[in-house]
C-alpha cells in the first residue's frame, strides 16, 4: 500500500531496484480496514495528487494513484499485500514500469495510533535484484531490517479521508 514512487527523486532511486518475487506467494497478513481511504504524500508538492486505497479481500489492498492534479490515473487498482518479517510490516506491489518488471517493496516504519499517518521506506538496495527465491528475499530483508542504507528516503503519508472501514 501507499507506494510513493511518482515523485521523481523517489521514483528514480527505487523503481529500478525491483525484486523478481513478492515477499509471500499468497498474502497471509490480514489488512487493517482503517487504512482504506484517500492518502496524500507529504513530499509531493502538488496538493491535488493522491492515492486511493481500497480493500481487496481480507489480505490485500487495491491502489489507484491520481496525478497531474488528480486528472490522470497513473496506476489503477494495483494489488498490494502486507508481509511480516521480524515483527516489521512490509508491502509488496507489482511494478507498473515495463522497463523494470517485478515487485516494489516498502518497509512500514510507523503507523500512527489513529491510522491517519504512515512513515515508510522503499527498499532501494540493488541486492534485491539478485534474489533467487522468496526464502532468500525474506532472509535478505530480515538481515537488513534496521540497515538505513538498504532503504531510500522516508516517505510520509497522511490520510485525508477514510472510507469503507468496519469498526
How do residues 5-18 score in pLDDT, each as one tens digit? Answer: 444 444 444 567 88
For the chain, percent of residues with pLDDT exceeding 70:
83
pLDDT of residue 164: 62
Inform me whether the pLDDT recorded for 102 exceeds 50: yes
pLDDT of residue 5: 43
pLDDT of residue 48: 82
Domain around 23 = 8-161
Is 122 part of a structural domain of the chain?
Answer: yes
Q: How far apart are CA 88 and CA 146, in angstroms?
A: 10
Is 167 part of a structural domain of the chain?
Answer: no
Name which of 11-20, 78-87, 150-159 the model is least confident about: 11-20
The mean of the pLDDT values for the chain is 84
Q: How many domains does the chain have?
A: 1
Mean pLDDT of 74-91: 86
Residues 6+ apart with CB under 8 A from 142: 85, 86
Is 20 part of a structural domain of the chain?
Answer: yes
Q: Which residue has the higher pLDDT, 73 or 51?
A: 51
The cell for 133 is: 527465491
Q: What's the whole-model pTM score?
A: 0.82
Cβ pair 115, 159 in contact under 8 A: yes
pLDDT of residue 2: 44
For residue 87, the surrounding DSSP H or E stretch is: none
Which CATH number belongs to the domain containing residue 85 in this structure?
A: 2.40.128
Is 113 part of a structural domain of the chain?
Answer: yes
- 105-125, pLDDT tens digit by residue? 999 999 998 889 999 999 999
For residue 11, the surrounding DSSP H or E stretch is: helix 8-14
Amino acid at each position: 500500500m501507499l507506494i510513493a514512487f511518482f515523485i521523481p527523486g523517489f521514483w528514480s532511486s527505487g523503481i529500478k531496484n525491483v525484486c523478481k518475487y513478492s515477499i509471500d506467494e499468497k498474502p497471509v497478513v490480514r489488512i487493517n480496514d482503517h487504512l482504506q481511504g484517500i492518502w496524500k504524500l507529504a513530499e509531493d508538492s502538488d496538493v491535488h495528487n493522491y492515492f486511493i486505497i481500497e480493500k481487496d479481500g481480507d489480505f490485500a489492498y487495491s491502489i489507484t494513484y491520481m496525478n497531474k492534479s488528480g486528472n490522470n490515473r497513473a496506476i489503477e487498482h494495483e494489488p498490494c499485500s502486507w508481509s511480516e518479517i521480524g515483527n516489521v510490516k512490509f508491502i509488496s506491489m507489482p511494478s507498473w514500469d515495463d522497463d523494470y518488471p517485478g515487485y516494489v517493496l516498502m518497509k512500514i516504519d510507523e503507523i500512527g495510533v489513529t491510522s491517519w499517518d504512515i512513515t515508510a521506506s522503499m527498499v532501494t538496495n540493488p541486492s534485491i535484484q539478485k534474489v533467487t527465491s522468496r526464502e532468500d528475499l525474506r532472509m535478505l530483508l530480515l538481515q537488513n531490517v534496521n540497515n538505513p542504507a538498504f532503504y531510500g528516503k522516508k516517505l510520509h503519508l497522511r490520510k485525508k479521508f477514510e472510507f469503507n472501514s468496519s469498526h
